């Protein structure tokens, strides 16, 4: 059997997601403050006779195994650029919730790209890889770089951010997924006829990240997609209330949802809040993780 390459890629939570009005191309300008957290997918690539995708993990049945999978699209995009055929088997060990608002699909795209790049020895520069990531999807560049970053444009133009320490989180998974385009469409519907301001990163939030201060971060987190996610998935209100009741410093929908994210003070509070959320029955699974953590990494 030929040797493969395995890449580990983290999930993300958006500590700020400011959304502007729909652009002529249908996308929305964002001020998107990403934090990579320690929940991971692993993508393993091995040489094969043709392109094949397999997936294991609790949500594996919901993952498309055809060429719509971002991992497959990443392999195809890199192969095209370097004049090769994408004859690889991509295996995804999936731990990030599917369609959960934690960039699980983007993680697999960035992971497959880095893994194929290492397997094929293309010599692509970091900037070339980031360009391909941006073609694959708005959140894919961040999955490659990890840490903490401000995403502008449609979220793909990244500026790395300083963080003064680890932030501890509890994540509550919902029983079903939400489609990101559907949530943005609902945002458009809810804001129709209103003056949607230009999205800007909050200075107080960036200061809180830089200081590593969870109380200050809790006071400044925000997600403009939250009303749209709640409109499409009203049961999320119960999960948010359960986390607040369990002592979380802040409760918000992660990205386009439906995963809900709870910022807590430390690992001990994370454990306590997770137990209370499990007991509440308001979610299907509960996980704890902290961040920032590095982006896609060859193991
Ligand atoms: O970039 P990505 O393919 O992940 O985006 C998925 C969908 O989310 C887009 O087709 C669009 O409907 C919506 N989106 C948006 N504005 C963004 C990012 C995503 O409207 N900045």
pLDDT single digits (tens) 60-93: 999 999 999 999 999 999 999 999 999 999 999 9
Burial class (CB in 10 A: 0-12, 13-18, 19+), 252: buried
CA of 121 to the centre of ligand 1 (A): 31
Query: In this predicted structure, what is the pLDDT of residue 264?
Result: 98
Share of the chain above pLDDT 70, in %: 99
Query: In this predicted structure, what is the pLDDT of residue 29?
Result: 98
Rg for the chain, CA atoms, rounded: 19
Does the structure show a pLDDT above 60 at 59? yes
Domain annotation for the chain: domains and CATH numbers: 5-161 (3.30.230.10), 167-291 (3.30.70.890)
Select which of 41, 59, 117, 139 is catalytic. Answer: 139
CA of 180 to the centre of ligand 1 (A): 7
Helices (DSSP H) in 137-222: which residue ranges?
Answer: 140-145, 180-191, 203-211, 214-218
Select which of 12, 41, 108, 224 is catalytic. Answer: 12
Does the structure show a pLDDT above 70 at 27? yes
Report the C-alpha gap between 255 and 66 in whole angstroms.
25
Does the structure show a pLDDT above 80 at 1? no
Per DSSP, the three-state class of 35 is strand
| φ, ψ dihedrals at 55, nearest 5° | -145, 140
Q: What is the mean pLDDT of residues 19-27?
A: 97
Q: Whose CA is nearest to atom 9 of ligand 1?
A: 181
Query: In this predicted structure, what is the pLDDT of residue 64?
Result: 96
| Beta partners for residue 8, in sequence order | 42, 297
**Is the distance from the beta carbon of residue 188 to the nearest atom of ligand 1 less than 6 Å?**
no
Q: Which residues contact 163 (CB under 8 A, 6 or more apart)?
A: 35, 147, 148, 209, 210, 212, 292
Q: Which of 142, 124, 123 is nearest to 133 (CA)?
A: 142
Cβ atoms of 204 and 216 within 8 Å: the answer is yes
Q: In the structure, what pLDDT confidence band is assigned to residue 3 with cuts at 50, 70 and 90?
A: confident
Report the C-alpha gap between 238 and 251 in whole angstroms.
11
Atom number, ligand 1, closest to the C-alpha of residue 256: 8
pLDDT single digits (tens) 121-134: 999 999 999 999 99
Q: In the structure, what pLDDT confidence band is assigned to residue 2 with cuts at 50, 70 and 90?
A: low
Q: In this structure, what DSSP letter does residue 3 have?
A: -
Report the C-alpha gap between 248 and 263 in whole angstroms.
6
| Beta partners for residue 92, in sequence order | 43, 55
**Is the distance from the beta carbon of residue 138 to the nearest atom of ligand 1 less than 6 Å?**
yes
Query: In this predicted structure, what is the pLDDT of residue 263?
Result: 98
Report the C-alpha gap between 247 and 261 in whole angstroms.
13
pLDDT single digits (tens) 180-237: 999 999 999 999 999 999 999 999 999 999 999 999 999 999 999 999 999 999 999 9
CA of 222 to the centre of ligand 1 (A): 19
Q: Is 139 a catalytic residue?
A: yes
Q: Is 94 a catalytic residue?
A: no
């Amino acid at each position: 059997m030929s040797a493969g390459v395995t890449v580990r890629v983290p999930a993300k939570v958006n500590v700020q997601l400011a959304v502007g009005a729909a652009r002529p191309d249908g996308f929305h300008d964002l001020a998107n403050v990403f934090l990579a957290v320690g929940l991971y997918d692993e993508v393993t690539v091995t040489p094969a006779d043709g392109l094949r995708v397999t997936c294991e993990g609790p949500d594996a049945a919901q993952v498309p195994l055809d060429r719509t999978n971002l991992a497959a699209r990443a392999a195809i995009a890199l192969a095209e650029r370097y004049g090769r055929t994408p004859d690889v088997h991509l295996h995804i060990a999936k731990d990030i919730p599917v369609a959960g608002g934690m960039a699980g699909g983007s993680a697999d795209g960035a992971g497959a790209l880095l893994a194929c790049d290492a397997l094929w020895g293309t010599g692509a520069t970091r900037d070339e890889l980031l360009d391909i990531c941006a073609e694959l999807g708005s959140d894919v560049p961040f999955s490659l770089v990890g840490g903490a970053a401000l995403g502008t444009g449609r979220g793909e133009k990244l500026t790395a951010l300083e963080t003064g320490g680890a932030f501890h989180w509890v994540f509550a998974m919902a029983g079903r997924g939400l489609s990101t385009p559907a949530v943005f469409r609902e945002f458009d519907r809810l804001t129709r006829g209103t003056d949607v301001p230009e999205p800007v990163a909050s200075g107080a939030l960036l200061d809180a990240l830089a200081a590593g201060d969870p109380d200050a971060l809790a006071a400044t987190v925000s997600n403009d997609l939250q009303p749209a996610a709640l409109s499409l998935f009203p049961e999320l209100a119960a999960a948010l209330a359960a986390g607040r009741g369990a002592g979380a410093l802040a409760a918000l929908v992660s990205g386009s949802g439906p995963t809900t994210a709870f910022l807590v003070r430390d690992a001990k509070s994370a454990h306590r809040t997770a137990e209370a959320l499990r007991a509440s029955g308001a979610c299907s699974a509960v996980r704890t993780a902290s961040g920032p953590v590095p982006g896609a990494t060859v193991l």
